[in-house]
Amino acid sequence: MTAETLGIWVATGLTLVMLSFLYKDNPFFRFGEHLYLGISNAYGVWFLWDLVVRPDFIERVFVNHQYFYITPAVFGFILLTRMIPRIAWISRWSLAFIVGWGAGVIIGPQLNSFLLTQIYSSFPWVNMQGVIGEPASVYIPALINSVILFACVVAVLVYFFFSVEHKGAVGAAAKFGIWVLMVAFGASFGSTVMARISLFIGRARFLVQDAEPRGHAFSICLAIAIAIALISIYLTRRAEKKKAKEQPAAE
Amino acid sequence: MILKPWERGLLYLLVALAVFLPLIFPFDKWENLPTKEVRGIYDTIESLQPGDTIMIAVDFDPASEPELYPMLLAVLRHAFKKDLYVLGVNLFNPAGIGLGTRAFTDVGDEYGKINGTDYCFLGYKPSMLAVVQAMNAGIANAFAVDAYKQKTASLPIIQRTPKLKGGIKYLVDLAAGETVRPWVAFGSTPGGYPMGAGVTAVSFADYFSLYQSNQINGLMGGLKGAAEYEVLIANKGAASAGMNSQSLVHVLLVLFVIAGNIAYFVGRRRLASKAGGAS
Amino acid sequence: MVFLRKQFPVVIAFLVGIFTLAIFYIPAKWAVNSGEALNIWVLIASAFGMVLGINSILGFHIEKVSKRRPGFGYSWVLILSFLIMTLAWIPWWRAPEEGSTALYIWGGLENPSGIFSWMYFWMMVPMQATVFSILAFYIASAAYRSFRAKSGQAIVLLIAAVIVMLGRVPLGTALTSWIPEASFLHSLRLEVMTEWLLNVPNAAGFRGILLGVALGVIATSVRIIFGIEKTYMGGGE
């Protein structure tokens, strides 16, 4: 038996264990849940150590002698004072450094790439630049779509603008904005459904095709074993509940 | 409305059957018609000449493998069929390195391509913004060794294309997370090369605004996007197989919505007539 | 002392925030280099935050085990799996030379024949993927249970969702494939309607939301830089 075969069996077993949650919370699922938490935390520790701390701190400071990079380690240790209640307030300096950096670094790209470009490309005359000179059968639908797009963007922005009361023309535009948002959310739900089903199709493909190339025997046997175990747990608990109900009645 | 246990069990059983049966008994009946967004990527790569270089950013991890790995295989097959040189990189998660190397090696062997000469998978580096900017100026500066531990400066493909700016003709970002916008802002726009994106179905609706504003010239969404690309390159693979299950489940969900609404309105009418009868 | 507790963090946030914002707009080489160095500083500093997270989760479960609270067996599973996986990535002895066929089981994901890689690909990935894929069933039950056409807006949402769900799969497009391509009713084909829905109203709706989000992010960032927003420091004196 190779490591890969053992791996396939373990992966199949754990997949079925996690799927057992569809029945209800049960000991198999809780075992899998705690196992997953332990492993993913260890992976997180490795990720940060091997890909952040080691190349960017240990190698820069102790191998390349760039002592400039000792400062973030100092900030890091300051952050750890949060574990000591008496001096936990010192960790605010580190938090302020990290949050201040985050606040400063996000503004430029948000303004340039998101805000300005998106506003610019909402205007019909910008969208129509690609179809100038095209025949009417292409130009007219593109023109109608550009105008509708612009109107919908403006309506949604008016809906989210709460500084002016939504009455009259503004109210009508805001109402149109809600309808546009309903269509957008409906379309987004359709896409989300696709994504979630695709994930399950991936697991199903693993169980059907990869798990047991010689005949699905292992997956089927394991699924039956887990189902029998769950049914027996359910029946045992039901019998215990019945007994507990009958006892006070007898007394 | 609270579902009774048998109702819940029946729903789950129907969904499970709709997914498992087409995988156990495969068939090829319904066509995946390619859409304009997917054609954008296909047409761009199709218009390139043999000897041009493209880059594929394998920015996903095993969690998104069902949707994005078939896309990677399809784009690689297309590129190698056209005798393009292909660079690969992962700026999302080191777990995706294994997926990238496996895809490049498997498809490379299919088309007789040589690692280091016809293709190169650079591997993973954190701090995406810094790495993209560095690669625009010089790939060997950002990646001293590639994912196969070969020195990049000595590889013929890197000597051919030492930097992204002015070197590559197209970038395809297969993204599970938020890597498309940084590639647009720090890679494609300053580097002057067009780009397309392949994303999971969850983010597909969001990236439409980027496609609309032509910041990306093509967009593949989820398993369907991968299946459409497979139809375009006339090489049906895992995505097309999964689309049968997807079709059945989608139709099933639409029937659930209709059935749920019928049950709701019938129930409401019964309650109203009971209340009317009581009064 | 009060200055060190309350005002000094705000000063740090202001100086760092203004500097980071300014260097985005300064095209000089020193600005780009400082920006890159600052990125790495923040990565390193925030990596230490992981220690806080591990302390919290392990501390909770170790206490559960020591006090024998109900379910402490599962805590043993968590602690042991964490220990095994952590010990697996530490290189206990030197790796063999490149090209050697000797078995070496230590190290992280860069060693495909190691215990860490095995546990990652055959335990963590399947469990993670399966937990997410359970959502497929919950969506099915939500579709039956909660999608009610109670108002005009709900009906519009439902119709848009149904059109996109059917238009994105080949079975759905086969349902309207009988409509000829060149005819006037061509736009009633499911895939054409889906494309229009995604390209026009959906793009417009999400663009509006994204613009609002971008404005909100910029406003919050400015508030943090100028010290109006201080909740990130946590409560207490």
Residues of B in contact with C169 (CB under 8 A): 30, 224, 243, 246-247, 250-251
Task: Give the pLDDT band of residue A139 (cuts 50, 70, 90).
Answer: confident
Instruction: Please tell me the predicted confidence (pLDDT) of residue C123.
Output: 92
Residue B55 and residue B200: Cα distance in Å, rounded? 19
What predicted TM-score, i.e. pTM, was given to this entire model? 0.80
Pairwise pLDDT comparison (C235 vs B241), residue with the higher score: B241
Chains touching B, CB cut-off 8 Å, 3+ pairs: A, C
Residue whose structure tokens are 């995604």: C198
**Beta carbons of B228 and B35 less than 8 angstroms apart:** yes
A67 CB burial (10 A radius; 0-12, 13-18, 19+): exposed
pLDDT digits over A218-239, tens only?
667 777 777 787 788 778 878 8
Q: ipTM for the complex?
A: 0.81
- pLDDT tens digits, one per residue of A150-182: 999 999 999 988 888 888 989 999 999 999 999
Contacts of B38 (CB under 8 A, 6+ apart): B218, B219, B220, B225, B228, B229, B232
Mean pLDDT of A212-216: 55
d(CA C179, CA C177): 5
Does any CB of chain A come closer than 8 Å to the CB of residue B265? no
By percentage, how much of chain B surpasses pLDDT 90?
43
| Cβ proximity of A182 and C209 under 8 Å | no
- For position A184, what pLDDT does the model report? 92
Structure tokens at A8: 């396939």
Residue-level pLDDT at B279:
57
Cross-chain Cβ contact C210/B209 below 8 Å: yes
Band (B142; pLDDT cuts 50, 70, 90): confident
In angstroms, the Cα distances linking A219 to A8, A9, A212 are: 10, 8, 7
Lowest mean pLDDT among A22-26, B46-50, C79-83, C117-121: A22-26
pLDDT value, residue A115: 85
The helix/strand/coil state of C131 is: helix
Q: What pLDDT is stored for residue A206 in this prediction?
A: 84
Q: CA of B223: which chain A residue's CA is closest? A: A198
Q: Is B277 exposed, middle or buried (CB count within 10 Å of its CB: 0-12, 13-18, 19+)?
A: exposed
pLDDT at residue A39 in the model: 94
* Cα C14 to Cα B278: distance, rounded to the nearest angstrom: 69
Contact B3 C121 (CB under 8 A): no
pLDDT for B30 equals 79
Is A65's pLDDT higher than 70?
Answer: yes
Q: Look at A105 and C66; give whichever has higher pLDDT.
A: C66
Alpha carbons B243 and B223: distance in angstroms, whole number: 7
Q: Is the pLDDT of residue A135 over 70?
A: yes
8 A C-beta contact, residue B273 and residue B265 = no
Instruction: State the nearest Cα–Cα gap between C86 and chain A, in angstroms.
Output: 5
Give the model's pLDDT for residue B169. Answer: 94
Compute the average pLDDT of residues A49-78.
84
Q: Does B70 touch chain A (CB under 8 A)?
A: no
Average pLDDT over residues C119-140: 88
Nearest CA among A197, A233, A236 for reference residue A24: A233
pLDDT tens-digit profile of A36-49? 999 999 988 888 88
Q: What percent of chain A has pLDDT over 90?
A: 19
- At residue B42, the pLDDT reads 96
- Using CA atoms, how far residue C136 sits from A196, B16, C132, in Å, is 5, 10, 8
